[in-house]
Structure 1
Amino acid sequence: MSYEQFKEVCEEHSPESANQRLAEGWTLLGVVPGFDPSSGRGYTCYVLGKALTELEKIKQLMGNHAEGGSKS
């Protein structure tokens, strides 16, 4: 998976919050363990990405073309 297609990345610590983001169109990028040193407890960390819109992708490609470079 190419991460160039994401304009924003966030972490959620509850499945409810992660599900809310998924319902809003976010993509689940990973599920990793987390640790809260203040409580000494572990938790599940959901990593989500907000994808670029088609217009944002076009602008990104046009910007790369204008700079004379290409991303593959």
Structure 2
Amino acid sequence: MFTGFGGTDRPENSIDDSRRPFQIYLLGTREEIQTTINQLQVVRFCERIRWSPPIPVLGSDWKYISMMERDQSR
């Protein structure tokens, strides 16, 4: 169970680790992110629709980030 930091007691609303989604982030140019998302779909890792649209990273004129969540049970 994930209980957070700062205590040994489990809160009533703790989440079972196996139920928390697994998150993956891609960081790169818009083209690199799209190419990687396409490759991950080809190898059946996840569908393209599961990824967030690439958004610009603040303070950079070329970096973008995209995020995907999926169940850990896969």
TM-score greater than 0.5 by the shorter chain: no
How high is the TM-score relative to the length of structure 2?
0.40
How high is the TM-score relative to the length of structure 1?
0.40
Write 1 or 2 for the structure with the bigger share of helix: 1
Write 1 or 2 for the structure with the bigger share of strand: 1
